[in-house]
Structure 1
Amino acid sequence: MKPIAIELRKGVHWVGVKDWGRRMFDGLIPLPHGTSYNAYLVQGEKTALVDTVNPGFEGELLAKIGAITDPATLDYVIMNHAEPDHAGAIPIVLAASPQARLVLTAKGADMAARYYQVPRERMQVVTDADMLDLGGKTLRFVDAPFLHWPETMFTYLAEDKILFPCDFFGSHTAAGVYDDEVADLPVRAQMYFGEIMMPFHKAGERALKKLTDLPIELIAPSHGPLWRHPERILDLYRKWTAGETLPKAVVAYVSMWGSTERLVRIVAETLLGEGIRVAVHDLAQVDVGDLAGDLVDGRALVLGAPTVLGGLHPAALNAANLIRALKPPLKYAAVLSSHGWAGGAVRQAQEILAPTGIELIGALGVHGRATEEEENAARSLAEELANRIKGER
């Protein structure tokens, strides 16, 4: 099959890879629609490759470059981020391009030496606002640490007003080339933000400020479609990095014999009756991406779990720890639980959520199936939670 490189602008081509079959990322994130590893060839008088691809796809990358120019003539390889899905092909690309220099941050240089055994003499370290003149094409570098590793940077192509931000503004889907070709792309982008960028939202805010004075006509991330309507994703990222929330409760629960689920249903339906948006996730079969996406703009959490061996059901324990790690902008929480001969789930949930700063409005633990009085207590807890959600602006 003839390799296809997609022309984005004169002298700028997409030479990445669509991974239609991948179904899991980082051993944690489901990929129901696959993903892509986007790489870009920029040609002036000199030629630069911006990012590479996941290990296993090096041959496809070189073939696509070869459809435009001899890979041996590359002058620069830009490493925006050292993670293998973007930098894993660097050793093979550098071996095919003996004169090419690897352009990266100082922290990136340490990682490239350790992870990919790149000799220091082949590296060119850049700092914030440094320029690289390709002759008719000018690359500008934007330091963007912790988006989402400490060495990350963005690359900006001045003449064509293209931003190459690596993982920032990305999405996990193999569909489409441009944003307007994928109907649910904002949803996919929100899931991706929740999974990867949400813990670093402050770094995201700082990066967005650096982009304020850069005219951007195309955002070309390293996963998912390119944004040829950049304000669509810029507007969303301004809200998400600022921690803006909706009058919405994220309900995450697991139930063994239906007692916890009964409490969850009472609370969820009461919240709906109070005009609160409710996103319910059964942790026994949850897609982590769906849960993370809802956490991006959720204002409250309802965590439901039975006690198992003196603590949270393992599925709820995993979810609670994930929520603590992702640092969502949740303001309030409520915990629901049932137990057989001994409790413990409520206490453990409180211990895990305490360091997050989320205000625990209340907790309800019942012995076996809830009594009518306990069901009424669940409704009252939901009404109090709804008042807090609606009172937050």
Structure 2
Amino acid sequence: MDKIQIAEKSFWVGKVDDRPVPFHRLILEKGTTYNSYLLETEKPTLIDTVDIAFGGEFVKKLSNIIDLNTLKYVVINHIEPDHAGALPALMNKAKNAVIVTTEKAKELLNGMFKLHNREYLIVKDGDTLDIGGKTLKFFETPYLHTEETMITYCVEDKILYPCDLFSTHIANHELFNDLAKEDITEDFKVYYQLIMRPHRPYVREMLEKLKTVEIDMIAPSHGYVLRDNAAKYIALYDEMSQKSVSDKKALIIYSTMTGNTGKIANNIYEGLTEAGMETHILNVKSSSIETVNEMAAASDVIIIGSSTRYGDMIGNIEDYIKEIIKLDLSGKCGFAFGSYGWSGEAIEIINDYLKKSNIKVLDSSTLIKATGANDVQLPLRINFYGDDERAEAAINAGRVAAEAL
């Protein structure tokens, strides 16, 4: 298992980890593999490394396969330690190698491994790299499953190197899916559900990018290389990432002082309806408690906002909230929002009320633990208002609420 050919001048040089593996607060009872690929072209190129625990072993093995001083490029698709963990040990030996990655990944790699003195080649979406006999094309795939992630495609071989995408967590010595001792479809689906499902919109964007290339083989970072019927596994991602919330309902209720919180409510409405969700928006100033209660009971998402005045909510929205949290809100989700001038206490008070109910409260802690993404901050606190990144943040919050279902 030191070196297995997957295409002309292209080899698997990874590591099989057949122990129960701790991973993302889980134990991988079937183990896993850390797949690294060596392209022995005129400009020898390595695509990803292995877990940090096997860094020394990996570099020693690789040095028996190739003179590391001749290694020209090391492509890092994703900076987590199970992919980039062996990079420091490798770069200590591969003195002439250039690290190929995204701008965000460079920042993170330097922070993690202190590689500031190494040469980087920063690539962006659609960029290509001639490695002497083969051409690599890169696609940025943010939040699949972290912000800096990209995937690599070999044009001549029609092989996709998608890092965590299309992976399975199975320790195996067969390497190729057509040699697997049992059907891997269920393991493939479980991996998607655990790792990729929270990032569904980004999966959809990735699939659109893949329509521009022809794929004969998928060589992911974990588990089997999919050389038989790669289209099947792309279709499974397409199927699993389809989502319809057209049968779901959302309710936004708010109280506003100068109109800014009302504008935020409209932006959240835009995000929810863009996701296909039937959404109602109510200003409590012109809606009865009975009406709001009835609509809250029939809604799947409940979002409540208020401006802040003298450290508190405004108007009589608190009376509405007290009635809503008396309802059975199990199976529903929601969050607090509002515009503020200098403090924004009203937003936190609403959030405290929601926590007293049995609704699933969407906040930054929940989102980070579920997806690792920190691009949406909840409760949604917007200083004054502007038709700029503040409006976009509110639209994104609506999208996030739809995804949370």
For 1:17, the equivalent position in structure 2 comes to 15
Contact 1:43/1:137 (<8 A) preserved = no
Contact 1:43/1:134 (<8 A) preserved = no
Contact 1:5/1:67 (<8 A) preserved = no
Report the CA distance between 1:23 and its aligned residue: 3.0
- Per-residue Cα deviation, 1:14-69 (whole angstroms, up to 9, x for no partner): 0000000133212x122110011100001211111000010121233224423431
For 1:7, the equivalent position in structure 2 comes to 5
For 1:160, the equivalent position in structure 2 comes to 157
Taking structure 1 as the reference length, the TM-score comes to 0.61
For residues 353 and 119 of structure 1, the distance between their equivalents in structure 2, rounded to whole angstroms, comes to 41
Q: Secondary structure at the match of 1:139?
A: strand
Q: Secondary structure at the match of 1:56?
A: helix
For residues 233 and 361 of structure 2, the distance between their equivalents in structure 1, rounded to whole angstroms, comes to 31
Q: Secondary structure at the match of 1:350?
A: coil
Question: Residues 1-393 of structure 1: matches in 2 within 5 Å?
Answer: 4-26=2-24, 28-119=25-116, 121-175=118-172, 176-180=174-178, 181-228=180-227, 229-243=229-243, 350-352=358-360
For residues 55 and 77 of structure 1, the distance between their equivalents in structure 2, rounded to whole angstroms, comes to 16
Distance 1:239 1:106, change over 3 A: same
For residues 162 and 220 of structure 2, the distance between their equivalents in structure 1, rounded to whole angstroms, comes to 5
Contact 1:162/1:218 (<8 A) preserved = yes
Distance 1:73 1:184, change over 3 A: same
Moved more, 212-221 or 56-65: 56-65
For 1:280, the equivalent position in structure 2 comes to none
Report the CA distance between 1:150 and its aligned residue: 0.4
- Per-residue Cα deviation, 1:171-214 (whole angstroms, up to 9, x for no partner): 11112311231523111111111111111010011001001021
Report the CA distance between 1:244 and its aligned residue: 7.2
Distance 1:231 1:73, change over 3 A: same
Q: CA RMSD in A?
A: 2.5
For residues 169 and 158 of structure 1, the distance between their equivalents in structure 2, rounded to whole angstroms, comes to 19
Q: Letter of the 2:186 partner, please give it.
A: V
For residues 5 and 67 of structure 1, the distance between their equivalents in structure 2, rounded to whole angstroms, comes to 10
Q: Letter of the 1:166 partner, please give it.
A: C
Contact 1:29/1:195 (<8 A) preserved = no
Q: Letter of the 1:190 partner, please give it.
A: K
Q: How many residues matched?
A: 257
Contact 1:24/1:31 (<8 A) preserved = yes
For residues 357 and 56 of structure 2, the distance between their equivalents in structure 1, rounded to whole angstroms, comes to 48
Contact 2:2/2:14 (<8 A) preserved = no
Q: Letter of the 1:154 partner, please give it.
A: I
For residues 104 and 51 of structure 1, the distance between their equivalents in structure 2, rounded to whole angstroms, comes to 10
Contact 2:59/2:86 (<8 A) preserved = no
For 2:320, the equivalent position in structure 1 comes to none
Q: Secondary structure at the match of 1:24?
A: strand
- Per-residue Cα deviation, 1:201-248 (whole angstroms, up to 9, x for no partner): 100110010010211111000011011121121110001111379xxx
For residues 134 and 193 of structure 2, the distance between their equivalents in structure 1, rounded to whole angstroms, comes to 34
Q: Secondary structure at the match of 1:57?
A: helix
For residues 23 and 118 of structure 1, the distance between their equivalents in structure 2, rounded to whole angstroms, comes to 28
Report the CA distance between 1:349 and its aligned residue: 7.9
Contact 1:219/1:226 (<8 A) preserved = yes
Gaps of 5+ in 1: 246-319, 325-346, 357-393
Taking structure 2 as the reference length, the TM-score comes to 0.60
Q: Letter of the 1:6 partner, please give it.
A: I
For residues 69 and 22 of structure 1, the distance between their equivalents in structure 2, rounded to whole angstroms, comes to 31
For 1:305, the equivalent position in structure 2 comes to none
Distance 1:239 1:72, change over 3 A: same
Report the CA distance between 1:145 and its aligned residue: 0.7
For residues 63 and 113 of structure 1, the distance between their equivalents in structure 2, rounded to whole angstroms, comes to 23
Taking every aligned residue pair, what percent have the same amino acid on both sides? 36
Distance 1:85 1:354, change over 3 A: closer
Distance 1:192 1:75, change over 3 A: same
For 1:377, the equivalent position in structure 2 comes to none
For residues 14 and 32 of structure 1, the distance between their equivalents in structure 2, rounded to whole angstroms, comes to 23
Report the CA distance between 1:121 and its aligned residue: 4.6
- Per-residue Cα deviation, 1:335-391 (whole angstroms, up to 9, x for no partner): xxxxxxxxxxxx9783127899xxxxxxxxxxxxxxxxxxxxxxxxxxxxxxxxxxx
Distance 1:64 1:137, change over 3 A: farther
- Per-residue Cα deviation, 1:226-276 (whole angstroms, up to 9, x for no partner): 11121121110001111379xxxxxxxxxxxxxxxxxxxxxxxxxxxxxxx
For residues 173 and 237 of structure 1, the distance between their equivalents in structure 2, rounded to whole angstroms, comes to 19
- Per-residue Cα deviation, 1:88-117 (whole angstroms, up to 9, x for no partner): 111111111000011100101110110111
- Per-residue Cα deviation, 1:323-346 (whole angstroms, up to 9, x for no partner): 98xxxxxxxxxxxxxxxxxxxxxx
Distance 1:14 1:244, change over 3 A: farther
